[in-house]
């Protein structure tokens, strides 16, 4: 049990440090290329902070733990919206541009709807679906860069984002390489610890993926969004979450499914994907009013996550004694 806890803690530490290093190097490189703060948040920061989810899901799928692989993706999207944006709004009322929700927010909603439909209709996600999802990701990134070219960085945005001098190219490259190494090590430790914990507690790997793994791999998004809000950079904070959720569904799910078809558990198909969709719709409704997220709205989002996590904990508590009882009945084995 001690080794399992150390594995989980060590995995979370390496994932967080690795993601921070990766994002620092990537953002520094992007700033030198004069990319707008919103685009950095939507793509480089959003995708970079989702790298822990990518590696954790790939590792879990490779080990045959589909519940952790899919649960991590769905649970991370729920955690990103309800918990992270809820906390971010409580820290500081968040304002954002029309582009963030008029365009990118609609892309996030469309991707979420498509992801829910696929996971509900297909008990096993095939490789061709993964290839299609990655193709959509490529189109999205291309579209965002075209948008950035047509709407270049404003002086105000540039001044806010470049308070710190960009790193030298070689130093930025070192951060990127070191970050990736930390992420790979952290993903291996986290998934190994999570699988062992599920076996010890008699809890399904789906529940573990939706909670511990999802929240753990979302720590980089939490740190990035909160820091962005504190530094009065709402485009980075909000773009980080939009980009992460889009990347989770069409990037991570696509890449993982392309490598190995994934089974979707009845728990996720029948309940959790709809919580993910409802969270996305609620966020868009809140954000559309005045293009801001107030503290009261943030409190509602955070309360929603507490209720969701409580429900999962109760489900796990009910399932555990049933599983233990069945294991003690030889005639059922």
pLDDT interval class at 41 (50, 70, 90): low
Q: Per the domain annotation, does 57 fall within a domain?
A: yes
Q: pLDDT at position 112, please?
A: 96
Residues 23-33 have pLDDT tens digits of 777 777 777 77
Domain of residue 217 covers: 2-317
Q: Per the domain annotation, does 120 fall within a domain?
A: yes
Q: Count Cβ atoms below 10 Å from residue 168 Cβ, excluding itself.
A: 11
Number of domains in the chain: 1
Q: Per the domain annotation, does 326 fall within a domain?
A: no
Q: Per the domain annotation, does 279 fall within a domain?
A: yes
**First CA to last CA across the chain, in angstroms?**
26
Has residue 54 got a pLDDT over 60? yes
328: tokens are 């003690």
Q: pLDDT at position 304, please?
A: 95
Better-predicted residue by pLDDT, 165 or 100: 165
14 contact partners, CB below 8 Å, separation of at least 6: 182, 183, 185, 186, 189
31: tokens are 């700033």
Q: Per the domain annotation, does 81 fall within a domain?
A: yes
The DSSP code for 262 is: E
Strand boundaries in the chain, DSSP class E: 94-95, 124-125, 262-263, 292-293
CATH of the domain at 10: 1.20.1420.30
Looking up tokens 């952290």 gives 186
Better-predicted residue by pLDDT, 329 or 256: 256
Q: Per the domain annotation, does 235 fall within a domain?
A: yes
Lowest mean pLDDT among 92-101, 121-130, 212-221: 92-101
Give the C-alpha distances (Å, rounded to integers) separating 77 from 170, 211, 226, 332: 33, 11, 17, 37
Phi, psi of 125 (to 5 degrees): -80, 120
> CA 138 to CA 124: how far, in whole Å?
24
Better-predicted residue by pLDDT, 207 or 276: 276
String of DSSP letters for 265-298? PHHIIIIIHHHHHHHHHHHHHHHHTTTEE-HHHH
> CA 146 to CA 276: how far, in whole Å?
29
Residues 291-319 have pLDDT tens digits of 778 889 999 999 999 999 999 888 776 65
Give the C-alpha distances (Å, rounded to integers) separating 95 from 11, 99, 136, 286, 290: 34, 12, 28, 12, 8
What residues does 263 pair with on adjacent strands? 124
The pTM assigned to this predicted structure is 0.80
Q: Per the domain annotation, does 333 fall within a domain?
A: no
Q: Per the domain annotation, does 324 fall within a domain?
A: no
> CA 30 to CA 234: how far, in whole Å?
18
Residue 161's Cβ-side half-sphere holds a number of Cα atoms within 13 Å equal to 27
> CA 53 to CA 253: how far, in whole Å?
10
Q: pLDDT at position 16, please?
A: 75
Give the C-alpha distances (Å, rounded to integers) separating 256 from 46, 78, 112: 18, 19, 17
């Amino acid at each position: 049990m001690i080794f399992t806890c150390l594995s989980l803690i060590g995995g979370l530490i390496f994932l967080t440090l690795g993601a921070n290093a990766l994002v620092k190097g990537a953002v520094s490189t992007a700033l030198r290329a004069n990319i707008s703060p919103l685009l950095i948040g939507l793509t480089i920061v959003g995708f970079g902070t989702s790298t822990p989810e990518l590696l954790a899901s790939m590792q879990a799928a490779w080990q045959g733990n589909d519940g952790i692989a899919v649960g991590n993706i769905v649970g991370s999207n729920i955690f990103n919206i309800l918990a992270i944006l809820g906390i971010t709004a409580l820290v500081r009322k968040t304002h954002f541009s029309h582009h963030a929700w008029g365009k990118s927010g609609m892309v996030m909603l469309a991707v979420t709807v498509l992801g829910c439909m696929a996971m509900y209709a297909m008990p096993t996600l095939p490789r061709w679906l993964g290839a299609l999802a990655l193709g959509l990701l490529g189109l999205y990134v291309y579209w965002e860069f075209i948008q950035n070219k047509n709407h270049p960085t404003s002086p105000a945005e540039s001044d806010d984002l470049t308070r710190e001098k960009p790193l030298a190219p070689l130093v930025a490259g070192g951060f990127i390489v070191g970050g990736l190494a930390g992420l790979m090590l952290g993903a291996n430790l986290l998934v190994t610890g999570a699988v062992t914990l599920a076996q010890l507690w008699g809890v399904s790997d789906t529940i573990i993926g939706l909670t511990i793994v999802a929240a753990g791999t979302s720590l980089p998004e939490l740190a990035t969004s909160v820091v962005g809000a504190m530094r009065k950079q709402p485009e980075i904070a909000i773009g980080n979450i939009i980009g992460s959720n889009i990347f989770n569904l069409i990037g991570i799910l696509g890449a993982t499914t392309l490598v190995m078809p994934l089974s979707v558990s009845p728990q996720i198909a029948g309940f959790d994907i709809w919580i993910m969709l409802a969270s996305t719709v609620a966020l868009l409704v809140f954000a559309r009013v005045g293009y801001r997220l107030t503290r009261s709205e943030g409190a509602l989002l955070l309360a929603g996550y507490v209720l969701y996590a409580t429900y999962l904990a109760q489900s796990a508590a009910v399932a555990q004694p049933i599983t233990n009882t069945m294991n003690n009945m030889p005639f059922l084995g």
